[in-house]
Amino acid sequence: MLAFDPIDRAGALWATHWPDEPEDVFAAMRAVTSVMRAQQILIAELDALLRPFGITFSRYEALVLLTFAQRGSLPLSKIGERLQVHATSVTNVIDRLEAAGLVRREPNPRDGRGTLAVITDEGRRVAEEATRVLNGARFGLKALDEADLRRLFDILRELRLDAADFA
């Protein structure tokens, strides 16, 4: 463990190297670096919590999405759209879930060329048990109280809106 905050230190160095930049640039640098580091910390913690189930957080997200689907199935393209990931990532996640017996592929009866991912009974069980574990760990955000969590969501939502992440 470091005896100082390396992101704060980098911000101070940034200001020293670019003294003509406005202060909000240094605040932005600290904030974006903190968000990126927080993502690394959260993914590591969530993946560790999910390791006993043989899944990663990205596979968990796909399983939960399928549990929310009316028929327990979705076209692979719809999974990518809802999880906001590239088609290659969806294929990889579904391949891994299928190999673990948590999902199976079926032809899409509405589209002769498309494929559905269908959650299995084992997939539902894993999703339910994993959700209990993640809920108990407050998804890795135990350091924040409810008011902070709501503020964080609102702040990040503004960023997502500005990026046209959704309408």
- Consecutive 10-residue runs of the chain (167 residues): their mean pLDDT? 92 92 92 96 97 97 96 94 92 97 93 89 98 98 97 96 90
Separation between Cα atoms, residue 67 and residue 70, nearest integer Å: 8
pLDDT of residue 112: 75
Joined together, the tokens standing for residue 52 give 């006993």
* Residue 110: Cβ-neighbour burial (10 angstroms; 0-12, 13-18, 19+): exposed
Query: Which CATH number is 103's domain given?
Result: 1.10.10.10
- Asked whether residue 120 is domain-assigned, the answer is yes
- Asked whether residue 164 is domain-assigned, the answer is no
Predicted TM-score (pTM) of the model is: 0.89
Domain count of the chain? 1
- Asked whether residue 112 is domain-assigned, the answer is yes
Q: Which amino acid is at 31?
A: A
